[in-house]
Structure 1
Amino acid sequence: MLTSKQLQDIEMLQKECEEHDRLQLKLNWEMLRNRESDQLDFLHYENDILIAFLGLYPFGSTVEVCGMVKPNERRNKHFSKLFQQGMASVKQNAFKKILLNTPATSSEAKDFLAKQGALYAFSEHQMKWQETPLNEVDGFTLRQANEEDLDMRVRLDVEAFGIAKEDAFEMEAKRTEDELMIDVNGETIGKIRVDKEETEAWIYGFAILTEHQGKGIGRKVLNQVVKEQSELGRSVHLEVETKNAHALGLYESVGFNVVHAQDYYLYK
């Protein structure tokens, strides 16, 4: 579990790196603020100043890895040491798949990953909604997810995102807060998660059963969620893999534009 000071130091280091490199790091702040394990975060301090950070983000048997180093300390191998510690923890926790995450524009990160023998796997676009007129919609209901929805949530993760069933079950069993189920004519046909912060809302895990796609339901759901959050004064964001052309087109049709890209590398 990270202390409030550690969280503050990580946030300050993130801002420094992003401003210096003109990019955006993906540090999964929702997970950082709710850590239950002390084996997932690695920090290097000097004179009470955070110099380098590496975080592990488990998703079932897969773990994502992201980190950063102060710009003027990058030749001192601080990150290499944290990476070794992180990989030791990965081995100890028996994760089956390791994905290293870097901003698409970071040449320094890609040089480091190449030296580790990591192989490019896929890219992910971060999108932000640009103010667009949205109409009132109907024909569906959004309701809070509950324990009775677990099987459907797992099914949607497997069918829509290719997640292994055991991993989907592990993740969904821990998550009901902010997850909404999509009902049409009394039948549950999809889900969407909205992570609400003070000034931002992030959309995750948006999925609709295959047999109900192509009927305009997805566009209507997005329309309503974006309209509600924007009217509350929040900017609305989401992430989508570049290979998912259908989803990318759907989001663009509602007013989302790509603002950043993250590259993922497979590490053995």
Structure 2
Amino acid sequence: MQKHGLVRKRTLAAEELQEIAALAALCQEREGIAVRLLWEMLRSRSGQVTNDFLYYEDGQLLGYLALYSFNPREAELTGMVHPDRRRQGIFSLLFRLANQELRSRGVPRILLFFDRNSLGAQGFAQAVKARYHNSEYRMVRELESAPLQVERQDGVRIRPARADEAPLLTHITARAFEMTEDRALLAETTRDITSPRRVTLVTEVAGEVVGLIRYIDDEDEAFIYGFCMLPEHQGKGYGRQTLAWTVEHVLRRRPRRIALEVDTSNEGALALYRSCGFEITTTFDYYEVPVG
């Protein structure tokens, strides 16, 4: 039986993931915009709540909306509609249903995020009276980039994190990103240390753990996130050594591109990433709107 109309999903089947990827590729090809889809999360939905909303006509996927919940106070939201079917109310329908779902879960805030070049997404943000929140650059280091010189400093060691270090990593994350430890924990900064698809590395200086870096180990791309150093150990070259070592580590495991995202206002991080061969490919804007 052909799919038709709205489909709510708690987990996504392989066929649905392929349909979503094809729609994203079409949007990119036709309009030159990037749709930010967290594939590792889409493939491993918990099945406990509805986070994916799909709209079909005669078996063809025409619209898709995804929710990502990193803490109970907000959900990030993104989506897309077939370029030939814009301005027909498809995304508004998906958004209303996602809004209802979040209200039933007691989530008070939505963060819309989209490629700055998407005029349709900008118009939608204005229509729902969303307020600008912040922007991030997506930066990519292509496989063809020049090899890195990995600087070695005496007493510095980069190694896989241990499961019993989870509380320490929460503490480092909270201090580095200036957030409470409760929020660091809610943001799942300590999850998946032993996950086969997520890798957590720590930086030791004279036996003390002073920073960490994580990446999602996907087939075509390694995505770096959660990279931070304790404030008192910043500016000493440990961050660059950690990043360069991680790039080398990723490429040794399987050659592919490496990506990350960084706030557009973080000049220090931007300079570091550029020095390691990363280049800006997309700007994502975040807009805040209350649920309800």
Q: Same fold (TM over 0.5)?
A: yes
SS at match of 1:109: helix
> Using a 3 Å threshold, how does the CA distance of structure 1 residues 96 and 155 change in structure 2: closer, same or farther?
farther
Which residue matches 1:89? 101
**Distance between the aligned counterparts of 2:246 and 2:28, measured in 1?**
29
> Using a 3 Å threshold, how does the CA distance of structure 1 residues 113 and 236 change in structure 2: closer, same or farther?
same
SS at match of 1:23: coil
Q: CA-atom RMSD, angstroms? A: 1.6
TM-score (norm. length: structure 2) = 0.87
Which stretches in structure 2 are left out of the alignment for 5+ residues? 1-10
Q: Does 1:12 align with 2:30?
A: no
**Distance between the aligned counterparts of 2:135 and 2:98, measured in 1?**
23
Q: Does 1:79 align with 2:79?
A: no
Q: Does 1:245 align with 2:255?
A: no
Which residue matches 1:110? 122
Q: Deviations over 1:60-119 (max 9, x none)?
A: 133110000011111220110100010111112222432100101111110111010101
> Using a 3 Å threshold, how does the CA distance of structure 1 residues 103 and 245 change in structure 2: closer, same or farther?
same
Match runs of 1:132-143 below 5 Å: 132-139=146-153, 140-143=156-159
TM-score (norm. length: structure 1) = 0.94
Which residue matches 1:167? 183
Q: Which of 112, 121, 129 is matched with 1:100 structurally?
A: 112
Which stretches in structure 1 are left out of the alignment for 5+ residues? none
What displacement does 1:53 show? 0.5
> Using a 3 Å threshold, how does the CA distance of structure 1 residues 164 and 8 change in structure 2: closer, same or farther?
farther
Name the structure with the higher helix share. 1
Contact 1:156 1:190 in 2 (8 A): yes
Contact 2:75 2:110 in 1 (8 A): yes
Which residue matches 2:54? 43
What displacement does 1:163 show? 4.3
What displacement does 1:162 show? 4.0
Q: Does 1:205 align with 2:226?
A: yes
| Higher mean displacement: 2-11 or 149-158 | 149-158
Q: Which of 118, 132, 140 is matched with 1:120 structurally?
A: 132
Contact 1:125 1:240 in 2 (8 A): yes
| Higher mean displacement: 170-179 or 15-24 | 170-179
What displacement does 1:147 show? 2.9
**Distance between the aligned counterparts of 2:180 and 2:27, measured in 1?**
35
Contact 2:202 2:211 in 1 (8 A): yes
Q: Does 1:151 align with 2:172?
A: no
> Using a 3 Å threshold, how does the CA distance of structure 1 residues 99 and 246 change in structure 2: closer, same or farther?
same
